[in-house]
Structure 1
């Protein structure tokens, strides 16, 4: 039985009363994927299961593969995003993909449908960077969060080597709902922020630093060993993952508030 036949069978079962709408919805959450050539299977129902759509990882894919995947996804998704897209790859993509937007610092390409605007979700995400060299990872988090529909507040270059820079913007820590803190070198900034803020803090270690930074391992261990409570840590240079984690926290809060209001 192919997908069309399986879907037809499911709909007929719902129409006849043999399957309840709730059970059908649960089946559909794991139902719809679409092959692209011999190299990809697009998970169209990831939003139903997880709250956020599938995103294209750009590194390791050919330009032709990225183009084919984006063109398939744009038919069913209001926002299509590809991460880790180098400028020279974007130059090739833009000649063949209409309406493609590029965020060079974040290394993200996106297609946003003109017919449907990105939903604005409740909650504000604050994103801090310790240094200017951490900005590619911080911007990856910021652009990801914005494309997912969240409001973002940025604060750059407030590392612990000049802590007064952070303290002079302490009001920002009090006006956001989740904080993403990006730091390389020794990675101390998330601990400081978590000691000042009353919201969840997500630490993002970066590979920025001298030799003993070990490509981001040193800040990763610092964040994992933080004495401040309320810190979660994602992988090295994973700004995208931090943004999605922040979004999941806010999405669950919104869902719970909606349930209480029923």
Structure 2
């Protein structure tokens, strides 16, 4: 349940449209719903401004379906990350308006409110070093969009051909937050960090040959960046980068 949904319920009680007993029934699962296999955090949107997001990897399609159905009852947009096509097919049985972003592996059911809260949408630039980094970047881009940001995708501008980055620099500098997604040695985050006056969120990816160590090399390079204003999230964590960017934009 988000702030908008709760306010609407309280206004309905105040006007007499909904009686107290009915409102109590709706609120009984606040702050969480115990489903046996999961405790769904219905209170998260009220605490943090964003509802709980379902991490689908490791869950059965049926568990994902039931959790998302529970979250959908609270109003607002909901999403599941690291979801398969089968997960989506099962979820759509009870949430027919859900959509699947295949490259991002995200299931989303968009509510009446797209996350804007009637405020100006801030801009997030999602920048990748290479085309192979796009799946992680799309997780970031789709998440940022659902959370109410204006997203500019700038892909395949890595340091191996740095002139490509300079050609897009005006667009990157126009963003309120920049997400840089890079594998291999992860150098792009430091380069971008030295060229912009906005927060840079670096996402190391597991793309690269053996000594990339599944993204560990890129992660360590980013952590050792000499550029100021660069923060780093976990390997392949496009969702985490977009969530952080959204929190920054919401406060600005």
Q: TM-score range by the shorter chain?
A: 0.7 to 0.9
- Who is 1:154 aligned against? 153
Q: Is the Cα contact below 8 Å between 2:184 and 2:207 reproduced in 1?
A: yes
Cα deviation for residue 87 of structure 1 reads 2.3
Cα deviation for residue 90 of structure 1 reads 2.4
After TM superposition, the structure 1 = structure 2 runs for residues 190-229 of structure 1, keeping only pairs within 5 Å, are: 190-229=189-228
- Who is 2:137 aligned against? 138
5+ residue gaps, structure 2? 1-9, 11-26
* Bigger Rg, structure 1 or 2: 1
CA distance in 2, matches of 1:33, 1:194: 40
CA distance in 1, matches of 2:75, 2:216: 36
CA distance in 1, matches of 2:164, 2:38: 46
Q: Is the Cα contact below 8 Å between 2:61 and 2:86 reproduced in 1?
A: no
- Who is 1:39 aligned against? 37
| Worse-superposed segment, 70-79 or 181-190 | 70-79
Cα deviation for residue 250 of structure 1 reads 1.2
- Who is 1:128 aligned against? 127
- Who is 2:250 aligned against? 251
CA deviation map 1:200-219 (0-9, x unaligned)? 00000000000000000000
Q: Describe the SS at the equivalent of 1:213.
A: helix
Root mean square deviation, CA, Å: 1.6
CA distance in 2, matches of 1:244, 1:117: 17
CA distance in 2, matches of 1:39, 1:235: 27
Q: Describe the SS at the equivalent of 2:39.
A: strand
Q: Is the Cα contact below 8 Å between 2:115 and 2:146 reproduced in 1?
A: no
Cα deviation for residue 47 of structure 1 reads 1.6
2:190 is the alignment partner of 1:180: no
Q: Describe the SS at the equivalent of 1:204.
A: strand
Q: Describe the SS at the equivalent of 1:109.
A: strand
CA distance in 2, matches of 1:94, 1:34: 22
Cα deviation for residue 96 of structure 1 reads 4.5
Cα deviation for residue 95 of structure 1 reads 4.0
Q: Describe the SS at the equivalent of 1:53.
A: coil
Which of the numbers 47, 51, 54 marks the counterpart of 1:53?
Answer: 51
After TM superposition, the structure 1 = structure 2 runs for residues 72-87 of structure 1, keeping only pairs within 5 Å, are: 72-87=70-85
Structure 1 runs, 4 residues or longer, greater than 4 Å off = none
CA distance in 1, matches of 2:33, 2:89: 27
CA deviation map 1:76-111 (0-9, x unaligned)? 131110000122332343345311200000000011
CA deviation map 1:202-248 (0-9, x unaligned)? 00000000000000000000000001111000000000000011111
5+ residue gaps, structure 1? 1-10, 12-27, 254-262
- Who is 2:110 aligned against? 112
